[in-house]
Amino acid sequence: MTKIRHRFINHNINPKTETLVIGTFNPDTEENIADFFYGRQRNFLWTLIPTSFNETSLKGKTRNEKLKFIEKYRIDFIDLISEVEVEEVANYDDGYLDSKVSEWRDVISEIDKLTNLKRVCLTRKSFGDIPNLKTKIEEIKNHCEKKKILFQLLTTPARFYGQAKQTEWANFFIYDN
């Protein structure tokens, strides 16, 4: 078994954050060349979010450019998983990782630190093969509802970019702005 930590586990969420984007896991491995959250080639988050604000896509841009953008729009990121213990080092499918989590991130305590938080989203909508992640997500959703923070499930930013996906993401990000 191999323990793999989250690549950006030391990322500190900006205390001024108004929108928190929750993902699952970004492995700290040699094969992963992402310089920041959602930085893999087949992920379009850095097109979806800037386009929502009528800004130029940041897909393929530097970490520094992404950090300036999220600071400007008070957006930040956190993932549910801090560490996994796996047999297959190259398998990062959520269905596989769901039973391999050795350390969860305490997302609720991070939410409670964000006094300006208005909205939280998760970058997936289906939970059939991830019962443990589903439980964590339900806890976060219930916590947000109690605190009157908008919580929404969004279509994954991975695999493809399309107008329907862009509209869905824009509707979430420009809500109440």
Superfamily per CATH, domain 2-173: Uracil-DNA glycosylase-like domain (3.40.470.10)
The number of CA neighbours under 13 Å toward the Cβ of 9 is 15
**What is d(CA 100, CA 94) in angstroms, rounded to the nearest whole number?**
10
Each residue's pLDDT expressed in tens, for the chain with a length of 177 residues: 899 999 999 999 999 999 999 999 988 988 888 899 999 888 999 999 999 999 999 999 999 999 999 999 999 999 999 999 998 767 778 888 899 999 999 999 999 999 999 999 999 998 988 999 999 999 999 999 999 999 999 999 999 999 999 999 999 998 765
**Residue where the block lists tokens 């001024």:** 16
Residue indicated by tokens 């213990």: 85
Each domain of the chain, given as residue ranges in start order, spans: 2-173
3-class DSSP state of 86? strand
**For the sheet containing 150-153, what is the strand order?**
75-79, 19-23, 119-122, 150-153
